[in-house]
Amino acid sequence: MEFKKILNPVDGSDHSMRSTRYGVELAKQFNSKILLLHCHARFPVVLSEPYFQNAINEIMKDSEELVSPFETLLEKGDVDYEVRILEGAPGTNIANVARIEKVDLIVMGSRGVSDFEGLFLGSVAHQVLHKADCPVFIVK
């Protein structure tokens, strides 16, 4: 079994930080590349210029700041990685990115920033388990 490309979706939660640590260890063992993914909320469509562009800039700035500690962890782990920041629903985006990028494994946290979604498993993790075509490694 080979895991040449590992998708690691992150949302800033402790669970996603733990999943990135597991991703680093797996990437080292299998000489894999990690695709770090963050999905942010949709851009507001009811704003006009310059407010629309200001909203986009703010969302992208927040997303880049959120991803930064994960990049630091990957750099310290000395693994090859790329970053993707996408707009929209993470459950669908994660499965789509995995399919398009021909990912061999998804490593993600069991819950996101809110522990209230989902009873035993976070709603995003639950969606990914059902929508992904590749194996999914869920980290508590």
Residue 117's alpha-carbon distances to 35, 41, 124, in angstroms, are 25, 16, 9
Looking up residue 65, the CATH number of its domain turns out to be: 3.40.50.620
**Residues 98-114: pLDDT tens digits?**
999 999 999 999 876 55
Q: What's residue 32's pLDDT? A: 98
pLDDT band (50, 70, 90) for residue 118: very low
- The residue segments making up the domain with residue 85 are 5-139
Average pLDDT value over all residues in the chain: 90
Residue 46: is its pLDDT beyond 80? Answer: no
Q: What is the pTM of this model?
A: 0.89
Cα distance between residue 140 and residue 1, in whole Å:
23
Q: What's residue 119's pLDDT? A: 45
pLDDT band (50, 70, 90) for residue 49: confident
Count of domains for the chain: 1
